[in-house]
Copies of this chain bind each other. A is one copy, B any other.
Amino acid sequence: MGGTLFGRDLVAIGDLGRKGIEDVLSNASEMQSVLEKGKRVDYLKNNIMATLFFEPSTRTRLSFESAMQRLGGGVIGFADANTTSTIKGETLADTVRIVESYSDILVLRHNWAGAAREAAKYAKVPVINAGDGAGEHPTQALLDLFTIKKEAGKLSKLKVVIAGDLKYGRTSHSFAEALSLFGNEFVFVAPEELQIPDSVYKSVVKNSGNAQKSESLSKAAADADVIYMTRVQKERLPKPEDYQKFEHAFRIDEKFLKSVREDVLLMHPLPRVSEISPEVDKLKNSVYFKQAGYGVPIRMAVLDMILNGDSRDS
């Protein structure tokens, strides 16, 4: 049981490092056994988690709340900032300093990149970043890596194509940064206006030594081990009229799949809109729903490691 996260914030995947990521994945495997035995455990029975969601979410909020309850903990929070004092003019710093006195850990989603770091600065309890604007989403990256480990059997020596809206899609940032620590080859596929930010690209190159950019999905994907598709973030585009232009830039359908390896792993952080055709869902290697499901053991692992560290009696 790694204690590396005990009492700490989880704001960016870079805070963890390779060893930290491996610890989380290993703990998540244990949590999966707990889930398979159909048991609710009481590891966090004395803890309350607050979910502060200033932006819409299904997956992240519900899987965090499921994870906390599977561990016996309580949950308070909001799914809509309009039901809170934010509309009376309250700052994030104030909201955080209040809600932390009602709970043992804060899980924050916000439209502003940097919000989680700011929250962590003010909070005395640990803060987990559950997505901050075009910034980071570390537990998503962790469940993405967990999916690859479980479904491909390894985390290294893979050719990984990351495609779609890489500029505004924060999941692609955290995912690429994390996976680059394990020695893989990357191709970032996007229209020029939506390419991966320079800072992320440089970091991936530095870590893995092996990354390229491309505008052609079919060329990049031909011999890929993993294709990680993302949605165009309509709500973050500076010019909403660009949406139609980008929406159909890449689309995975049955025809497309004939041009890639039969055992390629098809991932997506979801929600998808039209970038993966429904007929693709039934394929064995379309693992995006499984991927969403891995959110529960991953978030159980993170919550338990932060709140219990090595000290859990188990």
Contact = CB atoms under 8 A, between A and B. Distances in A.
A76 to B, nearest CB: 5
Contacts of A97: 289, 292
B48 A66 contact: yes
A40 interface: yes
Interface string A279-309: 0000000000110110110000000000000
A48 B65 CA distance: 10
Given A56-B87, A88-B56, A270-B94, A63 B102 contact: yes
A234 interface: yes
B69 A74 contact: yes
A65 B103 CA distance: 10
Nearest to A69: B74
A39 B44 CA distance: 11
Given A69-B48, A74-B40, A83-B80, A58 B234 contact: no
Contacts of A95: 58
A46 B69 CA distance: 10
A101 interface: yes
A271 B90 CA distance: 6
Interface string A89-127: 110011101110111000000000000000000000000
Contact of A46 (B38, B50, B53, B82): B38
Q: How many copies does the complex hold?
A: 3
B84 A56 contact: yes
A86 B66 CA distance: 20
A71 B313 CA distance: 22
Nearest to A87: B56
B69 A56 contact: no
A167 interface: no
Nearest to A293: B101
A58 B90 contact: yes
A231 interface: yes
A69 B79 contact: no
Contact of A89 (B38, B50, B273): B273
Interface of A: 38-40, 45-46, 48, 50, 53, 56-59, 62-63, 65-66, 69-70, 74-80, 82-90, 93-95, 97-99, 101-103, 231, 234-235, 270-273, 278, 289-290, 292-293, 295-296
